[in-house]
Structure 1
Amino acid sequence: MRTLQLRINDKVYDRFLWLLSKFNKEEIEIVNENQDFVSTQSYLQKELEEIESGKAKFISQTEFEDRLNEVI
């Protein structure tokens, strides 16, 4: 399945939603990408600020794999 982001004029918005409602959820699902995008962007911005400020702690690939094996 693919995700497509559209900008729809207010004049046709209701008709467009009506058209989408004619499909079942397996064919088309309306996804609120804006909120997902905003929350992901905020999270990544905080992570970037932590890296740039020098507060981020990095681990090696081996250390990561060891931690992952402990969890699994």
Structure 2
Amino acid sequence: MKTIELKVNSRIYDRLLWLLRQFNPDDMLIIERDKEQEYLQNELKKIDEGSAKFMSLEDLDNLLEDQIKKYEN
């Protein structure tokens, strides 16, 4: 498959999406990035503002170990 990226005005977005969804999913996959971009922008903003919460590798390891133990059985 080949990939293209489009920037679409919001007034035609819904109509274009409807048209693209008419194609067979085996022939074309729609990847919506707006939500991903918004999430990443918000996370970057938190870092810039100093309100982001970080975790050490040791704390992450402990958290993951606890989750593994919880669901191990």
Which TM-score tier does this pair reach, normalised by the shorter chain? 0.5 to 0.7
Partner SS, residue 67 of structure 1: helix
Aligned match of 1:4? 3
CA-to-aligned-CA distance 1:10-48 (integer Å, 9 cap, x gap): xxxxxxx8xx75xx83xx3x2222x2x111000000000
Higher relative contact order (CA 8 A, sep 6+): 1
Partner SS, residue 29 of structure 2: coil
CA distance in 1, matches of 2:38, 2:2: 21
* TM-score where L is the length of structure 2: 0.57
Aligned match of 1:70? 66
Structure 2 unaligned blocks of 5 or more: 7-19, 69-73
CA distance in 2, matches of 1:39, 1:53: 21
Q: Percent identity?
A: 28
Structure 1 unaligned blocks of 5 or more: 8-16
The runs of 4+ residues in structure 1 deviating greater than 3 Å are none
What is the RMSD computed on CA atoms of the aligned residues?
2.5
